[in-house]
Structure 1
Amino acid sequence: MLSDETPQDETLLETLPLDAWHRAQGARMVPFAGYEMPIQYEGIVAEHNWTRTSASLFDVSHMGQLTLKGDNAAHELEKLLPGAISNLKPGKMRYSLLLTEAGGVIDDLMVTNTGPHLALVVNGACKWDDIAHLREHLPDDITLTHFDDFALLALQGPEAGAVLEELIPGTRELTFMTAGLFEWTRDGKTAHLWISRAGYTGEDGFEISVHEGCAEDLANALIADDRVKPAGLGARDSLRLEAGLPLYGHDLDQNIDPVSADLSFALSKKRRSEGGYLGHKAVAARLADAEGGTLARRRVGLLLDGRMPAREGADVFAGDTKVGIVTSGGFSPTLGRPIAMAYVDALHAAEGTALECEVRGKRLPATVSPMPFVPHRYFRGS
C-alpha cells in the first residue's frame, strides 16, 4: 500500500528508537523513507477501524523535527514558504510548503511558533534535502537544529483526547493546530513533551515529541489504556486517503504546484498578491490560470464502482481519451468501496464527472468526488 519514492537497500535502513518495541508488539516491519517501519500489527483494516472508533498509537519518528532560531527567523522563513509565518502566535501551527523557483513542491510541512523558536516537522523521505535547502537559503544568523534524538508518536482517534488528558493533565485544553510544552512524570522521572493537537488521519488526535530515552515508557503507558492499540503505516495510509490528505512523493512532488494540487488554502491571501517567497511568480501564474479557467490539471477525488481498487499509476480515461493518472488509491474500510486521488485534465475535474480507471486491462467506472471522502473530526473547541 505504501512505498518510498525509490527502491531501498535494506542493509542501509535506519531503525526507529522504538524498533525493538514494535517487534515485541508483533509488528510486521517494511522499508519506508529510509527506515524499517511497522506496516501493521493486528491487520490494516482492524487498525483502521479502531482508529475511527477509539484511539491508535502510530510511530512517526522517521519525520524530521527541526527548529529555527534567530531574531528574524519567521521573516526569513517566509522567503521560502507561501504562508504567513510572522503573524503566527505562540502555540499556533500552520501547514505550509517548501517550493522551487518553478513553483513545484519540495515538501509539505508543519510550522509551529513555540515562543523561543519555530518548530518544523518535515517528511521523512526528504528531510535531508529539506535541511540542505533551508541551510542554503537561510542566512547564517538563523540557527537550524535537527532533533534526531527525539521520537514522534501520534495518538489518533475519537478517544485520544480523553486518554491523553488522564495521562498528561492539561492536554485537553489544546485545540486543532495548537501546541504546548508539557511535563510527564513516571517512576520519579520527568520528561518534557512537546504536544500538538494535529495528525494525518482526519480524526482528532495528537503528535507527541519525546526524547528517545523516554519513548518506550510513554508508548507503554499509552497502550496500557484499553482504548489504545498500536497501528502501522498501512492504516495511516488508508486513513489519510479517506481524509483526502496528499502523501509527498505520490500526490505531491517538484513537478506539481500547490494550485493544481488543490492546496491553495496554504497560500495566505496577502502573500498571493505581495509575493516575496521562492516560487511566487510561477504560483501566481497558476492562480491566474485557475481564476481564468485555463488551469491544466487538478487533484481530485474519485469514487470507484465495484470492489477492485485503482492503485497509483492507473490511467484515467474520459471515453477513449486519457485525461489523468491515479496518484493514491485503495479500498476504503469506512465507505466499503474503492477510492482514489488522481490528477486529471481540468476540463474533467468537476464534481460528478463520469470517468474510468484502467486496472489490469479493465475499465472501472469512477466519479469525481469532493474530498475528504470521510469528514474530518478535528477538535476545534466546544
Structure 2
Amino acid sequence: MAISGNATATQTDRPVLALAMGDPAGISPELTARILSLPELRSCAHFIVIGDRRILYEGAAIANVELDLVYGSANDLSTNLAERPFFVDLGHLDPADVTRGEATLAGGTFASENFRFALRLAHEGRVHGVCFTPFNKKAMRYAYPGYDDEIRFVSDVLSFQGKMREFNVLERVWNARVTSHIPLSAVSAHISIEAILAEVELTAACLRLAGIDNPKIAVAGLNPHAGDGGSFGMEEIEVIEPAVIEAKAAGYAVDGPFPADTVFLRALKEGFHAVLTMYHDQGQIAMKMMGFDKGVTMMGGLPFPLCTPAHGTAYDIAGRGIADVGASREAVLLAAKMAKRQAAPRKTEHSTF
C-alpha cells in the first residue's frame, strides 16, 4: 500500500497509524524503538513514525533492539509501506541537545512538532489513527504556552469544535469521567444531567469501536457512600440518579450511582465494561493500581482513534533500558482495532439525547 502526498488512507487488512515520538529526555525514544521492533505490532498496523532519526537510534541502542525501517522526509510519503514502517525524519533535534531526565524547551518543541505532524496526517485522512509515546507536560508548556493537556493541544491544532474526552483503558474495564483537569473544588458545579448523559453516549460509542457491541456502564457517585441517601450530599439524588434513569430509558445498559470506593470491584465482578466517574482521580487511582504498566489513555470523540500509554515519561529511569513496553503495546493494539472499525463504512450515528 502506498500513501502519496495527495492521497488518503484506504482501508486494507492493516490500518495505517501515525506514531509520534514523545519527550526525548524520558523513556519515549526507547519505547518507540521497542514498538517498532515487535513483530506482533508490525503485523497489526502499518506505521508512519515521526521524529528525528538520531533520537530514535539512540533509543534503539538503549532498548537493545534492531530496527528495519524506511527513512525519508515528509515529501517521501509515496514510499511503499507494505512491509516496513516509514520514518519521517524531521531532523529537528541533535541528541547532544537533550538533557536526559529534565523538562526543556528543546524536548517540548521536539514532542509537540512530532505530535502536530501526526495529527495533521490523520486530519487529512492519510492515516487511520494516531499513537504517541509519553509527553512531559512541563516541557510541552515551554514549547506551547497554552498547553493544558493533550485535549487542548489537539483541539487547537485541528480547530476541533466537537466533544473530545480522555478515557483510561485496561483489558477488563475502561474509565470515563464527567470532569477531568479541573480543581476538585469545582467538580460539583460541573456535574449536570446533560453532562453525564453526554459521557454515557460517548463512552458507549467508543466501546463499540473497540469491539464491545453491547457495552455495560457503571456510574459512580460523587460523595462518600454515594451520598448515603442525602446524608453526605444531594448530587446523587438530584443529578446523577436522574441521569442514569434517563440513560436507561434511552436504551443504554447503565446502572448506578454506586459508591466510588467499591464501583470498580463491582464492575469487575458483574461484567461492566466501563466505569463513569465524576472526577479525574476518582478513576485514575483505581486504574493505575489495577494496571499501571498496561493502562492506555484514549482520546474519544475524534474522527480517528488517538492512543498513548497512560504512564508518563519516567525521567527517573530514562536511559537505563528497563522501560516496560506493555502499555505502549496495548495503546497500539487498541488504536489499530478501533481504526479498522472507525475507518470502515458505517451508518451515521445520531445523538440519542
Task: Tell me which of the two structures has the higher relative contact order, counting C-alpha pairs closer than 8 angstroms and 6 or more residues apart.
Answer: 2
TM over 0.5: no
TM-score, normalised to structure 2's length? Answer: 0.25
Q: Which has the higher helix share?
A: 2
Q: How does the TM-score come out when normalised to structure 1? A: 0.23
